[in-house]
């Protein structure tokens, strides 16, 4: 059996993961790749915890993948599909899926390996109110924000900030009938647009920062890679993702205070990788807008693609060099 030292957990089609896998292969590092959705339909686990031992031994086999778990030294938890069990009643499928998550997922968690990032830490770091509080505590500038389900409080917040207020979704968008998540972008909102529907769930409102340009900052370990994001004249959007095809990217340096603050955030959250978004105002101040993106994308930033690919490969082989 091959003995991969790096395990990549992601969906079958992931061009970003492909870049790092190719780089690891170029370095002659053995790599295995699997998707959580492959278990149990296409993967079989057989593992043993022997008396007096603290580590599981065994393997995951199937779907052209054979992974000796004792050989794994690093795990890249990219963007796997969720566990999926079919062919049972709805109640049985829910139970079997939970068992797969706890059994197969728990086995992976028990690996004595370096994680980029640990899924448990990832789940905590994805909570925007928490990451915003941590960021502010670590010295990053965070715009004034309101988290509420009280429509009158939301209206008052909008009225008290004539410079403008933005509504930001806390967790993507609602699911559709085919199971895909609908994109929901940040956008401006006025007091007159606030309805009583706000009562139905949490809403995050944030004072709008006058934006000279945006920055997508990618951090891998202690290394920072920042891209300035500009839109051409005549193209405007609160959320630059809405005009993705019109953007240009330029490598920029990160101010020392921002670098120190972000590294402190990563240490506090126990993360190795993140791709936070910043807005830079017309005075040059960097504002963390509450999007840490601890599992964010980066391959679309052409000027930084090769460097980030290499940095991730470095992190995944750090204890093996």
What pLDDT is stored for residue 1 in this prediction?
41
Tokens of 117: 């990032």
Domain check: are 160 and 37 in the same one? no
For residue 52, give its domain range.
Answer: 6-116
- Shared domain check, 153 and 125: no
Inter-CA distances, 302 with 21, 46, 212, 233, Å: 18, 42, 21, 22
Q: How far, in Å, CA of 307 to CA of 312, rounded?
A: 9
Q: Give the position of tokens 């829910």.
A: 94
- 234 against 139, higher pLDDT: 139
Nearest-5° Cα angle at 201, 135 to 78:
50
DSSP structure class, residue 227: E
Give a yes or no: residue 1 inside a domain.
no
Cα separation of 299 and 65, whole Å?
Answer: 26
Q: What is the pTM of this model?
A: 0.90
219 and 319 in a common domain: yes
Greater confidence (133 vs 239) lies with 133
Beta bridge partners of 277: 216
Whether 136 and 153 map to the same domain: the answer is no
How many Cα neighbours within 13 Å face the side chain of 266?
25
* 156-163: Cβ within 8 A, 24+ apart: 156/191, 157/205, 158/189, 158/190, 158/191, 158/194, 158/205, 159/191, 161/207, 161/208, 163/207, 163/208, 163/210
Domain count, the chain: 3
For the chain, give the longest Cα–Cα distance: 69
Identify the pLDDT of residue 233. Answer: 63
For residue 182, the 8-state DSSP code is P
The CA-atom distances, in angstroms, between 128 and each of 115, 163, 188, 288 are: 22, 23, 18, 11
Query: Tell me, what's the pLDDT at 3?
Result: 64
Give me 263's structure tokens.
């590294």
Mean pLDDT, residues 290-306 taken together: 94
In this prediction, residue 231 carries a pLDDT of: 80
Q: What is the CA radius of gyration of the chain?
A: 22
pLDDT of residue 104: 94
Residues 79-99 have pLDDT tens digits of 999 998 988 999 999 999 999
Identify whether residues 298 and 157 lie together within a single domain. no
In a shared domain, residues 38 and 62:
yes
Q: Is the pLDDT of residue 176 over 60?
A: no
Peptide bond into 5 cis (omega under 30): no
CA distances (Å), 314 to each of 185, 203, 307, in order?
A: 34, 39, 10
Identify which has the larger pLDDT, 55 or 244: 55
Give the pair of three-digit tokens for residue 5. Answer: 């030292």
What CATH number should be reported for the domain holding residue 261? 3.30.470.20
**43 and 136 inside one domain:** no
- Tokens representing 107 are 């086995």
CATH number assigned to the domain comprising residue 186: 3.30.1490
pLDDT band at 182 (very low <50, low <70, confident <90, very high): low
pLDDT digits (tens, 9 = 90+) for 133-159: 999 999 999 999 999 999 999 999 999
Q: How many Cα atoms within 13 Å fall on the side-chain side of residue 278? A: 28
Task: Please name every residue paired with 116 in a beta bridge, in sequence order, or none if there are none.
Answer: 76
Note the pLDDT of residue 171.
Answer: 85
Q: Which residues pair with 215 in a beta bridge?
A: 228, 278
Question: Per residue in 2-34, pLDDT tens?
Answer: 467 999 999 999 999 999 999 999 999 999 999
Residue 67 falls inside a structural domain: yes
In contact, 65 and 33? CB cutoff 8 Å: yes
Judge whether 191 lies within some domain.
Answer: yes
16-20, 48-52, 144-148, 309-313: range with lowest mean pLDDT: 48-52
182 and 230 housed in the same domain = no
Number of residues that this document lists for the chain: 321
Cα–Cα separations (whole angstroms), residue 70 to 125, 191, 321: 28, 58, 18
106 in a domain, yes or no? Answer: yes
Task: Tell me what the mean pLDDT of segment 216-242 comes to.
Answer: 81
**Shared domain check, 195 and 231:** no
Residue 14, domain CATH: 3.40.50
């Amino acid at each position: 059996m091959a003995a991969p030292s790096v395990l990549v957990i992601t969906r079958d089609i992931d061009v970003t993961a492909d870049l790092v896998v190719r780089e690891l292969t170029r370095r002659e590092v053995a790599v295995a790749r699997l998707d959580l959705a492959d278990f149990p339909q296409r993967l079989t686990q057989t593992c043993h915890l022997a008396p007096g031992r603290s580590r599981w031994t065994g393997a995951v086999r199937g779907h052209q993948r054979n992974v000796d778990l004792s050989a794994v030294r690093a795990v890249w938890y990219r963007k796997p599909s969720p566990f999926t069990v079919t062919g049972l009643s709805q109640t049985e499928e829910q139970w079997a899926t939970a068992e797969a998550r706890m059994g197969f997922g728990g086995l992976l968690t028990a690996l004595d390996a370096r994680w980029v990032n640990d899924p448990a830490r990832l789940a905590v770091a994805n909570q925007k109110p928490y990451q915003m509080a941590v960021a502010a505590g670590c010295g990053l500038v965070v715009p004034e924000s309101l988290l509420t389900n009280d429509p009158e409080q939301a209206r008052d917040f909008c009225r008290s900030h004539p410079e403008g207020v933005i509504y930001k979704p806390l967790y993507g968008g609602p699911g559709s009938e085919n199971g895909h998540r609908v994109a929901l972008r940040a956008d401006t909102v006025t007091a007159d647009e606030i309805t009583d529907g706000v009562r139905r769930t949490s809403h995050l409102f944030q004072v709008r920062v006058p934006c000279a340009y945006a920055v997508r900052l990618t951090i891998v370990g202690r290394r920072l890679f920042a891209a300035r994001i500009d839109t051409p004249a005549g193209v405007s959007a609160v959320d630059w993702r809405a005009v993705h095809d019109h953007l240009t990217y330029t490598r920029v340096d990160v101010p020392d205070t921002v670098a120190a603050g972000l590294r402190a955030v990563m240490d506090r959250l126990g993360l190795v990788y993140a791709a936070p978004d910043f807005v830079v105002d017309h005075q040059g101040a960097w504002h963390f807008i509450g999007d840490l993106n601890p599992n964010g994308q980066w391959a679309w930033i052409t000027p930084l693609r090769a460097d980030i690919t290499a940095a991730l490969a470095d992190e995944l082989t750090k204890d093996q060099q």
